[in-house]
Amino acid sequence: MRSDNKILLGVVGIGSAIYVAIMLAGLPWLALGLLLVAAIIFIAILVGNSKAYTNQINTYRIITVVALLLITAHGIRFAFDYSRKDFQKEFLLDIRGTIERGVAKSDIMEKGFYIYRAVQQGEYESITAATDSIIGDRLLENNVYLSDFDKLKLRTPSDKDDDADFFLRER
């Protein structure tokens, strides 16, 4: 086997192993970036080897231009996808916030009706006493109601960019 082919197989093998190891570590953007670098090295070696198989200089130039266009297109696509990840994360957090507010509002209304019914049936002498008894453990300073979703908000999101499973984690 020629040394060029050994280099190509080595780049493919090492690139694949690094990609899998970093993906298993939970860093998808780093893995994809390194895979892009490995692909660039692979294409550069292929272009270098193509000179020996082409008789005309124009054919070699066409192969080189196509390879450069391919590398440039992949680099631009990677940069575009990487820049969109923050937008998508913020957008999903906005959607989640809207859902949380709706569920919290429903929870507050349910508790409010329950408190009102308890006062009307004479179980408590005042709304304040009923509120303190029924949901007193969920009231913060200044009588701010803490819903189940508000408890989740107390946990701040990770500062790590590659926190791909942020929305899937059990809280």
Residue 158 resides in a domain:
yes
Domain assignment present for 98: yes
Please state the rounded mean pLDDT for residues 4-33. 82
Q: Would 118 be classed as within a structural domain?
A: yes
Rounded Cα–Cα distance for residues 164 and 82 (Å):
13
Q: What is the pLDDT of residues 111-161, one digit of tens each?
A: 888 888 989 998 888 888 888 888 877 777 777 777 766 666 665 555 554
> Which whole-number Å values give the CA distances from 170 to 83, 85, 163, in the listed order?
27, 22, 14
The count of other CB atoms within 10 Å of the CB of residue 171 is: 9
Query: Does residue 137 lie within any of the structural domains?
Result: yes
pTM, to two decimals? 0.50
Reported as type and span, the H/E element at residue 68 is helix 57-120
pLDDT of residue 156: 54
What range does the domain containing 94 cover?
Answer: 86-171
pLDDT above 70 for 92: yes
Q: What is the pLDDT of residue 69?
A: 92
Count of structural domains within the chain: 1
The answer to whether the beta carbons of residues 130 and 115 sit under 8 Å apart is yes
Give the pLDDT of residue 110.
87
* CA diameter of the chain: 99
Q: What pLDDT, in 10s, does the model give residues 25-38?
A: 888 888 888 888 87
pLDDT at 161: 47
Q: Are 66 and 57 in contact (CB under 8 A)?
A: no
